[in-house]
Structure 1
């Protein structure tokens, strides 16, 4: 695994991160390693995520760290779990383009993950909202299979229960047009409504009556489309470049 030149995490930084993790447990802690005037220092940050299972580092805290010096690593904790990187950790490490220091509490084990070009598989990836979910699966599919880069959208946990309408409000901005009622084609995106007031789930039609999608609390998978998934489909959209 390649390592960025000059980025080594010293013991005092690990100790500071572990102390922060103990203080925040059982929630995940998060922070940044910043080079200030040539010396590395640990900056605790706020975790804005709901629940205990993941972290969302406050953007204001990142911006503040950048004014102090060079951000050289991202830090977060795995309370009562191994510091082995999760699939979401690997994806986000690539997205940030920085090393990730992962610390365990209360045992104190730790590990550093470095960007290496990793890409999560389209089938069999675990669910992590905002990182590996039905929307990110569609983005990754279009990037890898179709060769199109789709925009990303901010999506808080349970956005469909908080007045959000991500798919209906966003598909045109992402370059899609409504083709509901037309014969399905490969690469069509199926917008589905699953126990919600608005479409809150989506998948990609692969042809031959197969949909690729990613449900919460499950692995991404291919399934037969006709039947349940077809019944809850509310709109079919197609990228303009494929029309």
Structure 2
């Protein structure tokens, strides 16, 4: 990372503060250049979602060689979500710039970090919620990969899909992921690995949350704005249950 790129990143990060900035380093005919991008996350003070159209525009200019984002008021160390996104991105270099309040009250760059893929796999418990990276469906996919050796299909999902008035992520896609619907047992006696699909304050009036039944009355799930974890099945969760999905393999 040369000084010109570093300066361009710093200018962008300071201009976006306290929002997280995001951008791409593009290798073109005239060398590397930094391309500022839009952060379209629903919670831009906490996360970043790089606008797909900006990514496409960068690809038109050359090879994308680095993903950049800022940590306003935090350290430059990659978060669990940063590491997971890095592994999934196929881009070898990730750059974080940390910003903070200085002694005179000004905002300035505190630190930098560059990192790349290392084979990192996020733990199933206590992961931070980042939609599309660490969300309820991501946890289901990772559980099936770790516990069953099954690679479930991922699905493109816009941040805030559960409130756009039209999207129905789980019911539109569960068959393509290899699941079938089974009857909800009156006794609540599910099989370990069943996906329990719930509807919780959904503005779309569709199921918008799901978790894995672990057996023994325990549910593994990841609620928006919370850390992933296990909870005892029943009560509010049972009242919100809409579908029970069981993995059959392949496409049904």
Give the TM-score of the pair, scaled to structure 1.
0.89
Query: Which range is displaced more, 45-54 or 214-223?
Result: 45-54
Alignment of 1:144-155 (within 5 A): 144-155=146-157
State the match for 1:17 in structure 2. 9
Q: Which consecutive residues of structure 2, in runs of 5 or more, have no partner in the other structure?
A: 100-106
Aligned counterparts of 1:56 and 1:181: Cα–Cα separation in 2: 36
1:227 aligns with 2:235: yes
User: How far is 1:44 from its partner?
Assistant: 1.3
State the match for 2:198 in structure 1. 192
Aligned pairs, number = 235
Aligned counterparts of 2:162 and 2:39: Cα–Cα separation in 1: 22
Q: 1:45 aligns with which of 37, 41, 45?
A: 37
Give the TM-score of the pair, scaled to structure 2.
0.86
State the match for 2:76 in structure 1. 83
Aligned counterparts of 1:30 and 1:91: Cα–Cα separation in 2: 16
Root-mean-square deviation (Å): 1.9
Change in 2 beyond 3 A, CA 1:219/1:150: same
Alignment of 1:1-243 (within 5 A): 9-37=1-29, 39-52=31-44, 53-98=46-91, 99-105=93-99, 106-108=107-109, 109-163=111-165, 164-182=167-185, 183-196=189-202, 197-241=205-249
Aligned counterparts of 1:157 and 1:34: Cα–Cα separation in 2: 25
User: How far is 1:140 from its partner?
Assistant: 0.7
User: How far is 1:172 from its partner?
Assistant: 1.5
User: How far is 1:125 from its partner?
Assistant: 0.9
Query: Which range is displaced more, 24-33 or 59-68?
Result: 59-68
User: What secondary structure, in the 3-state scheme, does the structure 1 residue paired with 2:108 have?
Assistant: coil
